[in-house]
Structure 1
Amino acid sequence: MVEFKLPPRMAEMAREFAASGRQAPEPRLASTVVLLREPFEAYLLRRVATMAFAASMYVFPGGGVDPRDAAVLPDWAGPSPAQWAARLRLEESVARSVVCAAVREVFEESGVLLAGADADTVVGDVSGPDWEEARLALIARELGFAEFLSRNGLVLRSDLLAPWSRWVTPEFEPRRFDTYFFLALLPEGQVTRDVGGEADATVWCSPAEAADGRYTMLPPTRHTLLELAEFSAAGGIAAALAAAPDRDPADAIRPTP
């Protein structure tokens, strides 16, 4: 068992929920991506103070599954949706939507695109105005992710994602998520961008630095960074990615106060 100190406001929410007898809301399916680069660093963004969930917290890029992530099958490279379904222990359409959401969200929130012209390539710099226009259209839900990839002649590189864990938001939270965590290496030639919107700050830092208390974050983020920090002296990013296949990313972690 691992214990974390809850921020005061969250502790108060937990006490209020326990006393109220309210029914916990159903968690929404979501994906998040731990973006990594050499020397061993992870990318974090701080959510703006006005957000209803995790306000002012440092988080990994991620968010809820869009219904279109399941409705439309984009061109695909890497493990098939059926293989992802077996790995995540989900129905095939649901597994496909979780993977699509991971790739879409990391592009929307960091400007990094895990896609290429074919199964062996990854697109280069995507920070130009045309890419930015498309990114904003995705955020506004004016453009579907599969349509975006098709327009640009790209396939989704699902093999660039390494499933790591699954966390379910505690029952006392008014907004709950059933979130699949993935690792991904920053593609060569691409850069993260301070893309604004839901975030007011971004940072690259080592897992050990991110987990030492200098950044305010929720337990799933801190715990994931603590796990990754264990690889710092034993192979770094390569070792962490090599360890991912031996983990069970479908075994839900359900924190309780």
Structure 2
Amino acid sequence: MSVDPAAQPVEPRPAATVLLVRDEPTGGDLQVFLQRRVTGMAFAGGMTVFPGGGVSSGDTPDPARWRGPEPSQFGTRFAQPADLAAALVTAAVRETFEECGVLLAAPAGSEPGPMSGAAGWRDELVSRRATLPELLAEHDLELRADLLVPWARWITPPRNPKRYDTAFLVARVPDGQVADDATTEAVEARWWTPAEALAGYDGGDLKLMPPTLRTLQELDRHDTAAEVLAAAASRDIEPITPEVRREGRVVTITLPGDPDWIYEEATR
């Protein structure tokens, strides 16, 4: 698809992505949950991605049901207004629940864990019969913002016809909860070590977008979920807008400030 270079860039849509991590139950190696999206999807079809998606109109949290750092603290990390930061965190919790069944919420004074009825709540969200704040209020739950730690912010290049301004956050899967593949948006969803996913990409078995590739390379520097969370808390987050160069059928993508990092793909 050709893009008119003189056209005004599309305004990026706010979005949130969650790096859901755990220590492998038997070996202890760091793992991250990844989904291979359905090939025919309009965005990132066939790509292997972290759970996530765009902010929706219903992602406005109830401050009385928010537990953890104030939205302004997330806003400071992401260089975003507090109200948008609150919506990004809410979207992160909602998308994680919709796409892999992990709910980062709990009754007041309790830790997240298995909850009877959660499968039905998930169906209500997916079918848009309820918003996440409505479900939290109905079942007397708190959104656990304290379980999410900012990791990065990626902005789609200006020439793309579909653009996102995406907050990447990291969370450890709560004890007793199981991330699953019960989503119509993916044909495969499971836990990988970062090294396994990177080997799959190098071997051509996995297709990764630049933000996913870069993030997996960063995660591969850590051995445990605790190390990832500790690293996330101390990261300096600068918005990353990849730089794109096209030569014939080859698209080359680089990152500002890191000339040694190169991503190439052939287009039709």
TM-score range normalised by the length of the shorter chain: 0.7 to 0.9
- Are the aligned partners of 1:74 and 1:150 in contact in 2 as well (CA < 8 Å)? no
Deviation track 1:217-249 (CA, whole Å, cap 9, x = no partner) reads: 1010111010010113xxx22112111122123
1:22 maps to 7
- 2:230 maps to which residue? 242
How far apart are residue 90 of structure 1 and its match? 1.9
1:132 to 119, 124, 139: 119
**Within 2, Cα distance between the matches of 1:227 and 1:58?**
16
Deviates more, 1:237-246 or 1:106-115: 237-246
Choose between structure 1 and 2: higher helix proportion: 1
The 5-angstrom pairing of residues 105-124 of structure 1 reads 105-118=95-108, 120-124=109-113
CA contact (8 A) 2:12 2:162 kept: yes
Superposition map of 1:173-252 within 5 A: 173-212=160-199, 213=201, 214-232=205-223, 236-249=224-237, 251-252=238-239
The CA distance in 2 between the partners of 1:31 and 1:203, in whole Å, is 20
Letter in 2 for 1:25: V
Aligned to 1:44: 34
| Residue 70 of structure 1: how far off its partner (Å) | 2.7
The CA deviation at 1:123 is 3.0
Separation in 2, partners of 1:242, 1:100: 22
| TM-score, normalised relative to structure 2 | 0.82
Q: Distance in 2 between matches of 1:210 and 1:93?
A: 35
Note the C-alpha offset of 1:33.
0.2
- Which 5+ residue runs of structure 1 have no aligned equivalent? 1-12
| Counterpart amino acid of residue 22 in structure 2 | R
Distance in 2 (alpha carbons) for counterparts of 1:123 and 1:32:
20
Aligned residue for 2:243, secondary structure, equals: coil
Q: What are the ranges of 5 or more consecutive residues in structure 2 without an aligned counterpart? A: 25-29, 245-268
Please give the alpha-carbon distance, in whole angstroms, between the structure 1 residues aligned to 2:160 and 2:65: 36
C-alpha distance in structure 2 between counterparts of 1:138 and 1:73, whole Å: 20
**Whole-angstrom CA distance in 2 between matches of 1:73 and 1:144:** 15
Q: Shift of residue 73 of structure 1? A: 4.2
Distance 1:92 1:22 in 2: 31
The question of 1:101 aligning with 2:91 is answered yes
Measured after TM superposition, the shift of residue 71 of structure 1 is 6.7
Q: CA deviation at 1:74?
A: 5.8
Q: Could you tell me which residue of structure 2 aligns to residue 7 of structure 1? A: none
8 Å CA contact 1:74–1:156 kept in 2: the answer is no
Give the % identical residues.
Answer: 43
| Contact 2:74/2:150, CA 8 A, preserved across alignment | no
Aligned positions of 1:165-180 closer than 5 A: 165-180=152-167
Matched, 1:61 2:51: yes
> Which of 78, 90, 101 is equivalent to 1:88?
78
Cα distance between partner residues in 1 of 2:215 and 2:234:
16
Q: Greater CA deviation, 144-153 or 240-249?
A: 240-249
TM-score, reference length from structure 1: 0.86
- Residue identity in the other structure for 1:36: V
Q: What is the CA–CA distance in structure 1 between the aligned matches of 2:177 and 2:94, rounded to whole Å?
A: 15
Specify the SS of the correspondent of 1:96. helix
Task: Decide whether aligned partners of structure 1 residues 149 and 71 sit closer, same or farther in structure 2, where only a CA change above 3 A counts.
Answer: closer
Equivalent position SS for 2:125: helix
Q: Which aligned runs of 4 or more in structure 1 are off by greater than 6 angstroms?
A: none
Letter in 2 for 1:245: A
* 2:19 aligned with 1:34: yes
Residue 72 (structure 1) shift: 4.8
CA deviation after TM superposition for structure 1 residue 172, in Å: 3.3
